[in-house]
Every structure is written in structure tokens, then in C-alpha cells.
Amino acid sequence: MPDLNNFTQKAQSNIRFAHELAMERSQNQVTPVHLMASMLLSEDSIAITVLEDLSVDYEKFLAFLMEELDGIANLEIKSQNLNPPFQMFLTGEILMIFDEASKLARSEKERHISTKHIFQAFFKAKDQFVFRMLESFGVKEKDVVEVLKKIKAEDKKVQRKNKNVFLQKFTKSLTDMALSNKLDPVYGREKELQRLIQIISRRKKNNPLLMGDAGVGKTSVVEALAQKIVKGDVPSFLQNKKIVSLDMGLLIAGTKFRGEFEDRLKGVIKEVKNSNGEIILFIDEIHTIVGAGSAGSDQLDASNILKPDLARGELNVIGATTTDEYQKHIEKDSALNRRFQPIYVSEPSQKDTLAILEKIRQRYEVFHGVKISDKALEKAVEFSVRYLPSRFLPDKAIDLLDEASAQVRVLISSKPEVLKKADSHIVSLLAEKQALEKENTVKAKREIKELEKKISDLKEEVSDFSLSWQKELEVTGEIKKYKQAKDNLEQALEIASSEGEIDIVSEVKYIELPKVTKILSKKQKELVALQKRRMIKNQEVTEEDIAKVISVWTKIPVEKMMQQEVKKLLEIENFLSSKIIGQENAIEKIASAVKRSKTGISDISIFRSNWCW
């Protein structure tokens, strides 16, 4: 007596449908014909897939089966019970097919009988109508077996492709991004990186926790590790590791029902654990896991789901958070706190920040299609420190440089102001001409001729100017493209060198890179020549551009200072020192107060300074 629990969900559905086909015809028996018909009438049927692969018209085959079904009479048969919730009356022939299908499943070491086993079992009942029909359509068992093997192989490919569905959906691979040259280069942080690698290599408590103020570069340390892994510049035990960054926002988004968040997180954890230590999970803003997903006191939050696996050392996690958030959330949870080893990431010095900007300058030049001057880098650091005291390096300096570059990029792409004014002037002259045409006088006709000449000359000038602008834009776009190509080749060369790929190194270093560099140099010279003839747009990010952004952010008129007063303010201490002897400390404080006042950041409700001698 077959048990439905031994069948897959799809096979159970086909058996129920076969029963319904018999009941619809008031037949008190379920035969192999009912079963095959139910398989061909079902969606995503393995029977249809096999028959189509063998170029069999399954609809014609089904028509013969339905004709046979309609001719089946109510025969006296033995009753067989199928486990609840269904009771079916099965013929001995269909029971034999189930028995053969069960043998096939066992031979393939599969726990459940599937529709492919049932379909193949029809060839074992050679005295049945279905077998005779299959033969008449030229369907042989060996051909069916081959098709089923092919389908199984394709299914395995799909399964491999979709192996880590939770990781694909809720994380991003930092190592893949490093391989694709999508991460910015990281300067310095050697001590933090060394400490990170040491903690990961521990047997227990091998979960580093990067702590530091917002914007100091905690995430960059992890990105630097991903880049080192890709280049092979890490100890051997780390060389095949993969770092994935968990997106808590995606993980929580759309979790309307109880337990949905927990299922997602458990799915991510399971796939990381199944990687046998090959995947390291990075959780930025890790303090958000405390209470994440919890809708009430009776529900688990993310930290409680992570703790057991962290305690057993089955999960390798890198966390990042600010010092304040660590004290508020993680330090209070002693069980969670014990699982992590802290690494403090301090704010880099101005000198180090300048070196960081020099390292990433090329990335921003390529992205924005501009040239960034050395002075702009220096001012980005200097002004961010002076005027943005509540934020931290290098983030604030990078933001400043990025926005200044974006500002220049927008200006380059926009229609030049001179063209806008010329177009406006042409419209004005045309309107004036139209008004004069209504006057039928000699003077009006003379003025119309003069206006027509002006309009013609102006249109010619606008056309020439517009062509120059379009050409400049075109060359700028090509420079951007070749800069990107050069950047990609340099990254590929670095990776190939670290992996000892001599052929790739040789091709990139001596063929591809020189070729791209030569074209880039040619395009840059072409742009210089164009700009010498007629400078339409300045394509360099300068210190003035940095100052303009600071002015927008803080409402401080920095650009005015730079143009008129900066020299006076810089020399105020020297001037006072030449007049007042022996009061260096007082002079320094007075000069500082005057500078604050001039930049507009001092409180206007109090005196600029109080002098007591």
C-alpha cells in the first residue's frame, strides 16, 4: 500500500489529479492511463519535457490517452487504501508502476519518488496501454533515460548557479568588486590590516571589530584586505577567502511576517557556514544587529541568532562601528562583546590624508572626466580641517574633492554661458527685426538690413563656437575612456604580477598599456591645442573650486577670502610681531580671533577678543 509521504510534492499532485480524472468520468478505478494523462495535463511536466526533447507530439499522444480514458468501464477491482487524506481505488497495474518507481528512486539514492521515476516506470509495465502507446510513437526507454540524465545535469548547473541565493540577494562581494577594479585604492592602515589578519587567523574569537569615528576609514580597511586577497598579498590561509558585506537594510526590507527576518538571516549564516570557512562575513554598522528584526520581546534579534555560531567558531565575521555606538549597544551585551576582538581605527593626519587623496586622484579624474590640481588636493585637506571641525578625515576631504570635481564636470557638460548669451541676443535681434518689418519706411528698411547682417554674423560666430565646444566635449569623453582603460590595465597588471601570470604581464606591460598610454597622450595634446585656440571650459579642479564648495556647505564666503583678504590674514601675525615685542602668545590668540571673525564663524553676539595688558 503506497504512502503519499514517499512521493515528491509534484508526484503527489499528479496522483491526486489522476484520481480526479477518474471521478469526473464516474470511474471507480485509477489506471496507468489516468496517471500518464494527469502528468501530461500538469504544468512544468517532466513527461512533456522528455517527449518534446524526443520530437514527439505530446498533444496528439494525450488525445489518444483521453480517448482511451473515456472508454474505460466500471470494472470490479480490488480496493486499496492510500494513506489519508485521500482514499483511492488503484488497479494492480498502477501499484506495480509505483513499486518500480520506488526501486528506481532507491537505486539513485533519492529519498522520495519523483515524476521522473514514475515516467520511467511505465516502461516496466510492457503489457499496458501506455507502454504500447509510447512504442507506437517511437519512444524508447534508453532514449528517455538519456534525456533524464541531461535534465538532471542541467538542474545541477542551475543549483550550482543558485547555490548561495541568500548571499546573492542580501550581500555584495568585496573581493569580486576588488577583482573588477571597483574599489578605491587604500593608502596606509598597514598596522590595522596586520592586526585584522592576525585576529582572523586565530583559532577562537577570530572576529575583528573595527572601531573609530564616522569617516575615518573603517570600511576602507576591510576593502584593503579584499584587494590584498585578490592580489595574493596575504598569508596562504587567506588566499582563497572571499569577503562579503551584509546589507542589513535589504535583509530587513519587506519582512512583514513573523519569523521572515530570522529565516533570511539564518539563510545567510547557513550559506557562509557551508562555504567551509572560505567566506568571511563583513557587517558594517554592526551595532544595528542588536534588536534588528525584533518586533517584540518574544522574538529573536539578529545578535542572538549570530551568537551561537560565533561562540562555536563556525562563523567568521568582521564588524565595524563607531566608538559611541559600540558603548551604547555592543559593550552592554557581554555575550556578544566577548565574541569580538576590537581594533581601533584612528583619524589619519593631514599629511596621510593628502597621500590618500593623491592615491585616489586618478579614480576621481576618470569618473568625472576632469583634471585635479595638486593645489586642489592640498586645499581639500586644509579647508575640510578648518571649516568642517565636526567631521573626520579622510571622509570630509574626499567628499569635498568629489563635489568640487562634480561641480566642474557639470560646468563642462553644460552649454557655455557665452553661447547662452549669444542665443538670447539673437532672439532679441529677431524680435526687433520683426517689429521693424511692420513699419514701411526707408529708415526701417535700412535698420532691418543692418539687423540681418548682425544676426548673420552672430549666428556664424555661435556656430563656430558651438563646433569648438562639441569637439572639446568629444575629446574630453575620449580622454575619460582611455584613462579608464589605462586604470583597468594597471589593475590587471598588478593582479597578474602577484599571481605570476607571465604571459598576461608581458602582453599588458609591453603591448596593451603602452598602446593605451600613447593614445591617451595624443588625446590630451589634442585637448591642449583646442584650448589654446579657444578656451571654452576650464577642465581642471582648482583651489577656487574647493573654496566654492566649502562656501555652499558652510555659508562662509571663503572665495572672497581667497581673492582679497587671504594674504592679509596670513601675514597678520608677522605684522603684529613686528610692532609688539615679547607677546607671542597674545599675538597668536588675537590673530586667531580676527581670522575667525573674518571667515564668519565666530559668534557675533560676543566681542571678537578682550585685550588685557
CA–CA gap between residue 276 and residue 294 (Å, rounded)? 29
Q: What is the pLDDT of residue 158?
A: 47
Describe the strand order of the beta sheet including 171-173 as a list of residue ranges: 171-173, 242-246, 279-284, 317-321, 208-211, 341-344
CA angle, residues 45, 50, 55, in degrees to nearest 5:
125
Q: Which residues pair with 342 in a beta bridge?
A: 209
Q: What is the pLDDT of residue 37?
A: 84
What number does CATH give the domain 359-533? 3.40.50.300
CA–CA gap between residue 10 and residue 39 (Å, rounded)? 9
Domain boundaries of the chain, sorted by first residue: 4-161, 167-346, 359-533, 571-613
Q: Which CATH architecture has domain 4-161?
A: Orthogonal Bundle (1.10)
Q: Which residues of the chain have pLDDT under 70?
A: 1-3, 43, 72-89, 153-164, 254-259, 291-302, 417, 495, 498-500, 531-538, 558-573, 594-613
Long-range contacts of 496-502 (CB under 8 A, 24+ apart): 498/231, 498/232, 498/233, 499/232
Domains 4-161 and 167-346 share a fold: no
With contact defined as beta carbons under 8 Å apart, do 319 and 333 qualify? no
Dihedral Cα 548, 550, 553, 556, nearest 10 deg: -90
CA–CA gap between residue 468 and residue 464 (Å, rounded)? 6
Using CA atoms, how far residue 118 sits from 46, 103, 124, 528, in Å, is: 10, 10, 10, 76
Neighbours of 513 (CB within 10 A): 17
CA–CA gap between residue 223 and residue 218 (Å, rounded)? 9
Q: What is the pLDDT of residue 201?
A: 82
Q: Report the top-level CATH class of 167-346.
A: alpha beta
Locate 52 and state its grid cell.
518534446
Locate 361 and state its grid cell.
586622484
Supply the Cα-derived Rg of the chain in whole angstroms: 38
> Which residue, among 50, 56, 45, has the nearest Cα to 150 in the 3D structure?
50
Cis bond before residue 342 (omega within 30° of 0): no
Q: What is the pLDDT of residue 100?
A: 84
Query: Positive or negative CA dihedral for 463, 466, 472, 478?
Result: negative
Q: Which amino acid is at 571?
A: E
Q: What is the pLDDT of residue 76?
A: 42
With contact defined as beta carbons under 8 Å apart, do 30 and 94 qualify? yes
Task: Phi first, then psi: give them for residue 75, nearest 5 degrees.
Answer: -90, 155
Locate 470 and state its grid cell.
562639441
